[in-house]
Structures are given as structure tokens and as C-alpha cells.
Structure 1
């Protein structure tokens, strides 16, 4: 029977063949998950049952082949909450916490304690859940088209005690979906924004994530043009749109917002110093056509 220390070294060596930088982190995550302990290496001489060791090695081999760690574990953390993830749903990323922070700052500044919020392309529901956690009186809607993603979205709202989030299966690019949600204080979205070039150069790990949650058209801006044009009627006068986008897309997104009668565009950097999000105010009285 192998000890934890011996198995850790074996697993780390496997993963390091692919990525030396993340080998320690990935190995520790696998050990934490499968051994059910926060500090599994506190007792390195503890023996690992053969069946459990085989299970750990199997995950390590898949990770070494480029399969996403988050999918291997079946869950990931975002905003201090746990989210179920797997093939068919986008993995929550720390960059997206910048978008949550920006929306919360708007609510504090505007005195919005019970805003009506729609999260478009909701996926795992990480944005909707984080906002509902911080704004318990908010009326939050999560809109998602994919059946696979919806399964995770429903699980995650329940898992995190946010069963009162209104989940809508709908195409955010359809007029009827936009008209079903009127009078929004805030529309928030992390839509697909990768370009054709980006899609051709994806890291192996990212190729396992759903392409429909990644590809934003030839220049990556297709969803921003369509969503802003289509959903501006749903945002009340004085309300806000807040978007996440990719590196270098901020000026284009800013232009799209301003062309659609949004003003006071505020750009915000993520933890890595990349301009990652934008929020803008609607200045016109909207009535559905």
C-alpha cells in the first residue's frame, strides 16, 4: 500500500509532464477532493487504500492529457461558493468576479437594495448566484439556452441556497426573450467573446468547454452588438448594462454601448491588470416596439 507522500510525488510527476507550473496545485486539489480533507499532506506517511490510490492516479492521468481539472473534480469555487461543473457548461473563472464587483458597486452607489437583474448567457449560474448572495432582496433572472448548462444552473442555484432565482430557458438573441423581461435595473452578461483566431489557438483544456459559450463570431463582438441592440429596450431609463469581455476588446464594447444610447461607460481592470468589464447607463425612456 502506497503512502500519501509517495502517491503525491507520483501524481505530481505525471501532471508536471504537461504543466510544471500547476502540478503542485492540481495534485493538491485532486488529493483534497478524493481524500475529503483540507490538508491531506499533513500526514504524508498515512497509507492510501489501493482502490483510492488507483482512483487518484486515474484522475492524474486524465489531467496529464489536458482534461480540465475543474471537470475532473466536478465542481469549482467562485465568489466563495461551490459550483457544479462538467462538460457542457463554461468553467467559472476568477476574472468574472470583476463583473460581479462592478455590479455590486453600482448597486451601492445607486442605493439599489432590491434591483431587478437579468443575467444573460448564465451558464453555471455563477454570476446570478453571487449577486443573489450579496443582494438577497434582488429579483434575479438567469437566462440560458443550453439544456446541458441548464442542468448545472438549476443544481447550482439550489446548492447555494438561491432557489428563488428565476431560471428562464431562452435564446438571448431572440426578440421574444428580451421582451419577456422588461424594466430591468441591471442587465449583466459574460457572453461568448472569442474570435475565430482565438478558437483556432485554444489550449487543450479549453477545447473541452462548449464552443457555443466561447465563440463570439469572427471578431468576437457579435453578441455585444446583438444583445445591446435587442435588450436596451428591457433596461429602464437610468438602468445599467454590465459586460465582461476579452483582452483588448474594451474600446469596441464601449463604442457599441455608446452607439445604443448608453452613457457614462466605466471600464474596470481584473486582478491581472487587464481591462475586463464595462458598465454603462441607459439614458433614454424605452418602450417595446
Structure 2
């Protein structure tokens, strides 16, 4: 049997040689997952059981093929909560935590203790579940169309014991929007990659569902169609909150303003990129 340190070195070098950006980090995540320890190299000379060694090698091979680390592990953390992920669902990313913070700030400033919130294009449920955990009295509804993503959404609602409503529906359909009314906050991280983005995706991103990534030629199709549709579901002081891609903030801001929204606030993510927008509907909507 091979020692932990020797196997770790071998696997991290394999991933590095195949182009993995942070091979040592990925190898550590795999070791933590398989061995069930936070510091698996604390005992570097300890032998790895044969079954664990085989699993580590298989997971390393999958990573070398370009499969996302998150899919290989089957679970990823978002805002401190665990989320099941895999083929067919978008991986939760730290950038989206900016959207969570913006919604929470609105609730604090507007004194919304039990807001009615709808998360459109809910995917894994990371936004809906996190908002429900942070706002226990909120009435949160998650809307998702994909069957594959819906499966993970249901798993994550159960995993995090989040009492939220789940609706299978197309967020671009008037029939879906008609199910809602008098909402305090509509929040969404819709597909926003451009055609150029899709043509130049990193290998591991190609494993994620294109339906959750591609937002039309300029990446703004969903914003153009969702904004006029879903503003009708907001109450007279309601808010619409979006995440978007780098450099899209002016276009999204113009779409919101053109649909009668005011108090448009942009926010940067931890990388300094303008990532989200929150806007309040005009009372005469």
C-alpha cells in the first residue's frame, strides 16, 4: 500500500501535468472527501487502504479529463451551506454570494422581516435555500424548468431543511409569472454568457448545462424578456435583483430603467467586478 504523502504527490502532479489550475488544492479536496478528514496529510506516512487508493485514483483521472471538481465530489459549499451538484446543474459560485448580500441588505433597509421572494432559474437552489436559511420567516419560492436541475434542487431543499415552495416552470412564460403576485423581491441568476463566451469556454465549464449558461448572442436575452414580465408580479415597492456577467452592468441597468425601475444599485463581487443589480419598481408600474 502507498503512503498518504506519496499518493498525494503523485495525484497532484498528474493533475498539474494535465493542466489543472490548482492541482494541489484539488488533490487535497479529493483526499479530504475520500478519507473523511479535514487534514488528511497530518499523518503523511500512514498507508492508504486499497479501496480508498482506487477511489482517489479514479477521481483524479476524472479531474484530469476536465470534469469539474465539484461534480466529482458531488457536493459543494455556498454561503456556508452544503449543496449537492452533478451533471445537469450549474455549480454554485462565490460570485453569486454577492447577490445574496444585496437581497439581505434590502431586507434590512426596508425592514422586511417576512418578505415574499421568488428565485427564478433556481438551479441547485443555492440562492433560494440560502435566503430561506438567512431569513427564516421569508416565504421563498424557487422556479426551475430543467428536470435534471430540479432533482438537485429538491435534494438541496431537503439537505438543508429549508421550507420553500418549488415550481417547475419556464420563467419566460406568462403562465408561470401569472402564478405570482404581490411579491417583495424577485431574484435571479439567469443564463448570461454570450455566443463568444460559449465558443471559448474552459474545458471544465463545458461539462455544465449550456441551458444554464447561454443567454443569447449578447447574453442579455433573459434580462430583456424577464424584466417586463416579472415586474408585474411585484408589489408597489417591490425589488428585482439580478446577477450578470462582467461588463454587462450598463446594459442591465438600462433594461431596468427602461422598464420603469428606480433606485438601481450596482454591487461588486470580491474580485472587484460589478456583478449584481437591485432595482425598485415605480409605484405607478
Q: TM-score, normalised by structure 1?
A: 0.97
Gap runs ≥5 in structure 2: none
Q: Secondary structure at the match of 1:41?
A: coil
Q: CA deviation at 1:18?
A: 2.8
Q: How many residues align?
A: 285
Pairing 1:101-140 to 2, within 5 Å after superposition = 101-140=101-140
Number of the residue aligned with 2:63: 63
Task: Determine if contact 2:267/2:275 at 8 Å carries over to the other structure.
Answer: yes
Q: Secondary structure at the match of 1:218?
A: coil
Q: CA deviation at 1:264?
A: 1.0
Q: Secondary structure at the match of 1:88?
A: coil
Number of the residue aligned with 2:180: 181
Pairing 1:51-200 to 2, within 5 Å after superposition = 51-162=51-162, 164-200=163-199
Number of the residue aligned with 1:257: 256
> RMSD of the TM alignment (CA)?
0.8
Distance 1:160 1:143 in 2: 18
Distance 1:277 1:33 in 2: 33
Q: Which moved more, 1:219-228 or 1:52-61?
A: 52-61
Number of the residue aligned with 1:213: 212
Q: CA deviation at 1:64?
A: 1.2
Distance 1:154 1:54 in 2: 31
Distance 2:83 2:284 in 1: 37
Task: Determine if contact 1:261/1:284 at 8 Å carries over to the other structure.
Answer: no
Q: CA deviation at 1:52?
A: 1.3
Task: Determine if contact 2:20/2:64 at 8 Å carries over to the other structure.
Answer: no
Q: CA deviation at 1:21?
A: 4.0
Distance 2:128 2:237 in 1: 21
Distance 1:20 1:216 in 2: 27
Distance 1:40 1:128 in 2: 33
Q: TM-score, normalised by structure 2?
A: 0.99
Distance 1:47 1:113 in 2: 53
Pairing 1:201-240 to 2, within 5 Å after superposition = 201-240=200-239
Q: CA deviation at 1:148?
A: 0.5
Distance 2:222 2:34 in 1: 39
Judged with a 3 Å threshold, the aligned counterparts in structure 2 of structure 1 residues 210 and 21 are, in CA distance, closer, same or farther, namely closer
Q: Secondary structure at the match of 1:67?
A: coil
Q: Secondary structure at the match of 1:40?
A: coil
Q: CA deviation at 1:54?
A: 1.3
Q: Which moved more, 1:145-154 or 1:47-56?
A: 47-56
Q: CA deviation at 1:284?
A: 3.0
Distance 2:284 2:108 in 1: 23
Distance 2:262 2:215 in 1: 24
Q: Secondary structure at the match of 1:191?
A: coil
Task: Determine if contact 1:236/1:285 at 8 Å carries over to the other structure.
Answer: no
Gap runs ≥5 in structure 1: none
